[in-house]
Structure 1
Amino acid sequence: MSGSGARYRQPALEDLLNPKSIVIVGLSARPGSTGRRILENLRRADFGGTVYGVHPSGRDVDAVAVYRSLADVPDTPTVAVVCTPGDTVAALVEQSGEKGCRGVVVFASGFEETADGAARADRLRELAGRYGMSLVGPNCLGVFNPGRGLWLTGTRYGADLRAGPVAVVSQSGSGCILLAGSGRLGFSYVISSGNETVTGLADYLDYLVQEPSTRAVGIVVEGLSDAEGVMAAVRKGHDNGVAVVALKVGRTELGARNVASHTGAIAGDARAYEAFCRRAGIVTVTDFDELTEALAALSTLRTGPAGERVAFVGLSGGEIGLVSDVAADFGVRQTAAEDEESGAVRLARLSPGTREELARILPDFATIANPLDGTGQLVGDPERFGRLAAAVAADPGVDLLTVILDAPPSLGDRLVTSYSHLLATLPGVRLRSGTPVMVLSNYGGGLHPFAAEALAGSDIPIVHGTRAGMAAVAAVTTAAAHVRATAQDDAQPDVTVTDSGPAESLRAVRRALDASPAGQVSHEVLAELAERYGLRLPRRITADSADGAVAAAASVGFPLVLKTASPKVVHKSDFGGVAVGLSTPAQVREAYEAVTSSVAGHLGEPAPQVVVEEMVTGGVEAFVGCGLDPVYGQVLALGAGGTLVELQPDPALALLPVSPGEARRMVAGTPLARLFAGYRGSPPADADAFVDLVQRVARLSADLREAEVEIDLNPVAVLPRGQGVRVLDFRIVAAAGPRPAP
């Protein structure tokens, strides 16, 4: 047991994962039955607690007392392991609660993942709540902890599993089998969480990040039901030095459909998931190889890097070139002195002093760079290699030293001896410099055991495979960056709101939505909100006739834009609903007839109302929008705007609130960064004003959260530096209902 006095979201989970006694419901003597396999696992692992059985036969199994019902068990077992079909589970869970069990493990399927299983799932939640129990599953493979001999599972994971600092929670049972069978990790707990009907990912994480023997948690996620709880648990892990690494299943449309058919989970939008992980401080990976190597690295390192600046050192020009190629795929880039963004892997710049020291160590033909090829001359010279590694690790601009060194399991004895001597220099380098050190083998099958033995007992991880190893390097730097960035990214935007503020904004929007059959906020209310939140709109007047449009043009002034005001038209240019560059009354009259006729033809009904608007010229067209994700909450998106907004495959997304630093990082990840800098001779745009606008939109969205709306500003004209921004189109509509499971 953890014995830490920690406070958990589900207090009974402490007892479930550390039981004094277990009752196997459905324990029979039949070879291969689930109950029999669980008993065999407990015996093989030498579980120290008492084990009971329940079966209608009442016949003892392998010296374990078996009773006809739970009520007949003379003691109060801590945990009931239910190994019976789905239609029997609810009654047995109720009996477990009446008996006083603190937790239940349910293997059976037939709950949320089936069309008629929702009522069964609701019944389990009701019973668990009534009796204060935690419940693993249903539709799972159970729980094991090799350090305590706890095997609440009928699966045989292998005889060589060892205790260690890695915990795993996987909604996929096969994910547990794969990670446990990799041979790369030692485990504190492995939990096959299944449907998470009662006890969810947030509950497990909350427990595991407070568990003293755990240094890294890997999660295999099909869908999230409690994003806020997960975020709170992950951040508690940051305080305790525990990193969380996530592999998401169902990031694509096809994958999401398969997830839904398996567990009934709503997969959520893939980009919103990435934004959630950045905000929560979860390290993300894309496959099981990356997950395994990231967990190996994070659980071995006892001190994370102080920054993201990485130096790569190897002894082969070809392999250094390969590492450079793969590093580029991961977005690794040379750091610049003025670059203050965090959260990415960067190539460290070696200082002049370090370069001078390396020149004394390396042969004349060596090129001093990062990544650094120490050349094959050092393979047989561990003393020079140690000096080289020490020089790089001691550089004040290096936060993490990654040594590229391969010693495949079938390597010849002479080379194994040489590589072992090279590796043996690294613990001293780590100790003297204080800089974290990793070893990356380009071969995915690992290192020769003699070579690996050179680092045994140190906190220097060995990661396998160029791509998976690079993912592990990124995981290490990203985990450290997440901890540093959390406070900044949670900062509430400092935006002044005029008049009566959020309460009046919410009331006005609700009234406007109630009055609109199309669920769209009127131009009048939008203008009020724009004034209140400092969203600068062009001068505009609404008209519902050609004469009215001409009169409005005289008031607004030329040149101007005329566009449809129909709430049924979202992308106005697609409907012929916009005319630009109008400079005379005649042009306004002609544009009115053309726009209203075109829109009416598309809609099949009259659309006489238009907006006559000041024409803003120049600048970069951008968009900012806020929506409501059913899993992750309010999400802000931004990117290049105008008519091409939907052709941009990956606009930047973030969860609210959005700090100024995060807004700048979002811009940097889109084409806006180049456009704002002055693309093809254009003057630099007012990027700071756009960041301020993003803050204001985020504040508006947060204030309107209860109204459940979508906010869209497209296009936004970002004018030359010092001239600010102008919002050329502004819409607020009622959000669509929660998406059905894909």
Structure 2
Amino acid sequence: MSGSGPMGGSGRTYRQPALDDLLNPKSVVIVGLSPRPGSTGRRILGNLRRAGFGGAVHGVHPGGRDVDGVAVYRTLADVPDTPTVALICTPGDTVPALVDEAGAKGCRGAVVYASGFEETAGGAARAVRLRELAGRHGMSLIGPNCLGAFNPGRDVWLTGTDFGADLPAGPVAVVSQSGSGCILLAGSGRLGFSYVVSSGNETVTGLADYLDYLVQDPSTRAVGIVVEGIGDADGVMAAVRKGHDSGVAVVALKVGRTELGARNVASHTGAIAGDARVYEAFCRRAGIVTVDDFDQLTEALVALSTLRPGPAGDRVAFVGLSGGEIGLVADAVVDGDVRLAELSAGTREELARILPDYATIANPLDGTGQLVGEPERFGRLAAAVAGDPGVDLLTVVLDAPPSLGDRLAASYTRLLATLPGVRQRSGTPVMVLSNYGGGLHPFAADALAGSDIPVVHGTRAGMAAIAAVTTTTATASHQGQDVGEAGEIVAAGSLKAVRRALDASPSGQVSGDLLEELAERYGLPLPRRATAGSAAEAVAAAESIGFPVVLKTASPKVVHKSDAGGVAVGLSTASQVRDAYEDVTSSVARHLGEPAPQVVVEEMVSGGVEAFVGCGLDPVFGQVLALGAGGTLVELQPDPALTLPPVSPKEVRTLVASTPLARLFGGYRGSPPSDADAFADLVLRVARLAADLREAAVEIDLNPVAVLPRGQGVRVLDLRIVAADHSAADHPAADRPAPKPPQTR
């Protein structure tokens, strides 16, 4: 159930219109409300009472005994009015029938706390039934296998879990597929919440639905998600990008990035935890900030929800009063994703007038301990750095742990108290980084209370928060750029031709003739080639092309030609071509168990760097573009660089820089520099081809690609397009969906 619909009077539209009613109910019915102390229903009722929920509360239980002043009815049908939400606190096998009853009653949503659905061997059919019923009644549903949801600002607690008293309302929303993730974040004492949702299995209402709702919520500035698996990647991306338009950032912590972690996730919720590197590529494309642990997630949410507005760019300056701690920060910058600002000559001159003679002017900047007792001078120092036109974000490094002596704490407080003025006068956003992750002295915390200057705790976690802030600044969507004659390409024609070829091919491969046609249409430069059906034809083809040549089988049934003895290279004479024809066709015939007389004779391309580029299919995230060292150099990087198309020229350069190709293209061990620009152009053309063939569900391999010396271009030595399901059958040992470098010719 993923259609969009209006929310009355707000002008907002949601993927699941009923979700607003579910998260903000006017009344609830607790199904399974029993007088037994400690029961889920009784705990939910206690939370609603403590929060001061102002709507009507009803109960349903076969016993029909009132509980704590709440009328309890024997069935949902007996409830005298129509509750907005049904809170179903009964075992899993009873849930589908109760959801059906709630929908027939007119309930807009339900929360299902019980387990026993996708995460169990026998629960899949029950989950399918639950989706069918919710769709029939137009209901949103939290869970199953969840802790529920709460909203401190609206006194709504649809949960029986004790999250602690007096949780503050605030601008952070959380959606966690792990219930313990909600408990941890709510109990951190660092955040104020608009909504917290323990989404569980997401059988009906999924992550994309929650994000689509939350990024439109006026009270939410940042959304934290704890992800075990993503079911609707396109929906998530659309919601996150909608958040960018309204200034709401999304930060994700992925659980199950390793093989062991993924197995544990599957046993917990039944989620598919896809290839971790494809997930990272998806997040980059969507503009989701990724973190590695709960400390980083917490601090990133603190920074993103407090700092308003964010920096205009990603250039960060650090100022502290301890050489040792500045050195620690410098190490963390090198290891992290933070870009250091370069201080201007004018700023350096101003700093030289403020600092003692022995100070070193650099970024990160050690203002020396001499300024600890001089808040006015420290304020001038901070203002000088914040006023530099090359600085987008000023981060002050200052520690004030909770048990710090009052005298020193008072000194630090006076230093911090100068920062709101610096922020206001310079217009540059300011953050404070405490290298200690265990909290802040109350004096120091009070100095910045009510300001938009966040204090982030812990060197690594704080640095992740700084990276989150600057990354969010650069969340403009990456749009691939058409190249060459791409604007004249008729995508529909290519798609139709490939589908026709795949339908006619038992092996699920596109034939050589169509590959050549596509290569010409998309500007993928193949070597000169000709097809031959006999030794004499092969010799004639070689003489026409010019020696030396390569001879290889043309059989579409041979996936990896080298493995079947289907390739001969460096043939310089007619007799070598004749002998090679006999050897190749005989070897391939033995491999297939049938004659294979057709071969391809093509020019022998020598020199250059062997690379590969391809596009595969991930079951969750769709098309994934991959590139790296190719041919015999594949072992230099078993895991290629990955991204999701479309791609831009800048992104291609970044991908190449993350692979051994960067060194190889530069002229490795005395080789001439390669035509890196021509390779980048080829990658863009492959991305265009992949986009045009998206609906055909194919995998595209160009391996190897000879990247010739600068100015000489590239040659695609082998091009293969195969139906994705056939490709999977060709690789039975592959245990993950990410594209792998194809085998050498």
Q: TM-score range by the shorter chain?
A: over 0.9
Deviation, structure 1 residue 566: 4.1
The corresponding residue for 2:494 is: 505
The corresponding residue for 1:632 is: 621
The corresponding residue for 1:109 is: 115
The corresponding residue for 1:9 is: 15
Equivalent residue in structure 2 for 1:264, among 259, 267, 270: 270
Q: Which amino acid aligns with 1:559?
A: P
Deviation, structure 1 residue 429: 1.0
Alpha-carbon displacement from aligned partner over 1:399-450 (angstroms, at most 9, x marks no partner):
1111111111111122211111111111111111111111111111121121
* Native 8 Å contact 2:636 2:660 kept in 1: no
Alpha-carbon displacement from aligned partner over 1:331-387 (angstroms, at most 9, x marks no partner):
x4xxxxxxxxxxxx3111111111111111111121111111111111222122111
* More displaced 10-residue stretch of structure 1: 308-317 or 188-197: 308-317
Deviation, structure 1 residue 257: 2.0
The corresponding residue for 2:415 is: 422
Alpha-carbon displacement from aligned partner over 1:117-163 (angstroms, at most 9, x marks no partner):
22211221122122211111111110001111111001001124211
The corresponding residue for 2:151 is: 145
The corresponding residue for 1:735 is: 724
Report SS of the residue matched to 1:81.
Answer: strand
CA distance in 1, matches of 2:603, 2:390: 52
Q: Which amino acid aligns with 1:456?
A: A
Deviation, structure 1 residue 52: 1.0
Answering whether residue 467 of structure 2 is matched by residue 474 of structure 1, we say yes
CA distance in 2, matches of 1:209, 1:235: 9
Deviation, structure 1 residue 206: 0.9
Report SS of the residue matched to 2:11.
Answer: coil
Distance 1:232 1:533, change over 3 A: same
* Native 8 Å contact 1:620 1:717 kept in 2: yes
CA distance in 2, matches of 1:682, 1:361: 52
Deviation, structure 1 residue 301: 0.6
CA distance in 2, matches of 1:598, 1:300: 68
* Native 8 Å contact 1:169 1:220 kept in 2: yes
Answering whether residue 658 of structure 2 is matched by residue 658 of structure 1, we say no
The corresponding residue for 2:686 is: 697
Alpha-carbon displacement from aligned partner over 1:698-737 (angstroms, at most 9, x marks no partner):
1111111222110001111222333222111100111027
The corresponding residue for 1:351 is: 344
Alpha-carbon displacement from aligned partner over 1:671-707 (angstroms, at most 9, x marks no partner):
2233333334433332222222112111111111222
Matches within 5 A, 1:63-142: 63-142=69-148
* Native 8 Å contact 1:498 1:532 kept in 2: no
Deviation, structure 1 residue 495: 4.8
Deviation, structure 1 residue 455: 0.9
CA distance in 2, matches of 1:556, 1:135: 66
Q: Which amino acid aligns with 2:149?
A: V
Matches within 5 A, 1:471-620: 471-482=464-475, 485-486=476-477, 489-491=478-480, 493-497=482-486, 501-596=490-585, 608-620=597-609
CA distance in 2, matches of 1:724, 1:119: 56
Q: Which amino acid aligns with 2:439?
A: G
* Native 8 Å contact 2:275 2:736 kept in 1: no
* Native 8 Å contact 1:107 1:139 kept in 2: yes
Report SS of the residue matched to 1:119.
Answer: helix
CA distance in 2, matches of 1:312, 1:500: 50
Q: Which amino acid aligns with 1:505?
A: S
Deviation, structure 1 residue 500: 7.3
* Native 8 Å contact 1:579 1:595 kept in 2: yes
Report SS of the residue matched to 1:197.
Answer: coil
CA distance in 2, matches of 1:740, 1:121: 26
Deviation, structure 1 residue 95: 1.1
Matches within 5 A, 1:271-286: 271-286=277-292
CA distance in 2, matches of 1:217, 1:498: 38
* Native 8 Å contact 2:481 2:649 kept in 1: no
Matches within 5 A, 1:210-249: 210-249=216-255
Q: Which amino acid aligns with 1:518?
A: S
* Native 8 Å contact 1:267 1:741 kept in 2: no
Q: Which amino acid aligns with 1:238?
A: H
Q: How many residues align?
A: 725
Identity %: 83
* Native 8 Å contact 1:502 1:703 kept in 2: yes
Alpha-carbon displacement from aligned partner over 1:170-229 (angstroms, at most 9, x marks no partner):
111111111111111111100011111111111111111111110000011111111111
CA distance in 2, matches of 1:498, 1:167: 42
CA distance in 2, matches of 1:159, 1:442: 29
* Native 8 Å contact 2:585 2:596 kept in 1: yes
The corresponding residue for 2:707 is: 718
Answering whether residue 378 of structure 2 is matched by residue 385 of structure 1, we say yes
Equivalent residue in structure 2 for 1:412, among 405, 412, 417: 405
Q: Which amino acid aligns with 2:547?
A: F
* Native 8 Å contact 2:675 2:712 kept in 1: yes
Q: Which amino acid aligns with 1:439?
A: V
Q: Which amino acid aligns with 2:79?
A: V
Deviation, structure 1 residue 545: 4.2
* More displaced 10-residue stretch of structure 1: 112-121 or 294-303: 112-121
Equivalent residue in structure 1 for 2:444, among 442, 451, 465: 451
TM-score (normalised: structure 1) = 0.94
The corresponding residue for 1:310 is: 316
* More displaced 10-residue stretch of structure 1: 119-128 or 708-717: 119-128
Distance 1:495 1:82, change over 3 A: farther
Q: Which amino acid aligns with 2:53?
A: F
CA distance in 2, matches of 1:293, 1:595: 62
Deviation, structure 1 residue 580: 2.8
Deviation, structure 1 residue 573: 4.2
Deviation, structure 1 residue 80: 0.7
CA distance in 2, matches of 1:347, 1:586: 63
* More displaced 10-residue stretch of structure 1: 321-330 or 193-202: 321-330
Report SS of the residue matched to 2:14.
Answer: coil
Distance 1:391 1:536, change over 3 A: same
Report SS of the residue matched to 1:147.
Answer: helix
Equivalent residue in structure 2 for 1:297, among 300, 303, 312: 303
The corresponding residue for 2:396 is: 403
Distance 1:439 1:29, change over 3 A: same
CA distance in 2, matches of 1:90, 1:495: 56
Deviation, structure 1 residue 646: 5.1
The corresponding residue for 1:369 is: 362
* More displaced 10-residue stretch of structure 1: 441-450 or 613-622: 613-622
Answering whether residue 213 of structure 2 is matched by residue 207 of structure 1, we say yes
Report SS of the residue matched to 1:258.
Answer: helix
The corresponding residue for 2:427 is: 434
Report SS of the residue matched to 2:225.
Answer: strand
Distance 1:571 1:441, change over 3 A: farther
Q: Which amino acid aligns with 1:520?
A: Q
Deviation, structure 1 residue 253: 2.1
CA distance in 2, matches of 1:369, 1:604: 71
Answering whether residue 314 of structure 2 is matched by residue 321 of structure 1, we say no
The corresponding residue for 1:461 is: 454
Distance 1:74 1:415, change over 3 A: same
* Native 8 Å contact 1:143 1:153 kept in 2: yes
CA distance in 2, matches of 1:392, 1:524: 63
Deviation, structure 1 residue 626: 0.7
Distance 1:270 1:277, change over 3 A: same
CA distance in 2, matches of 1:324, 1:573: 50
* Native 8 Å contact 1:222 1:259 kept in 2: yes
Structure 1: give runs of 5+ residues left out of the alignment.
333-344
CA distance in 2, matches of 1:587, 1:448: 82
Q: Which amino acid aligns with 2:296?
A: E
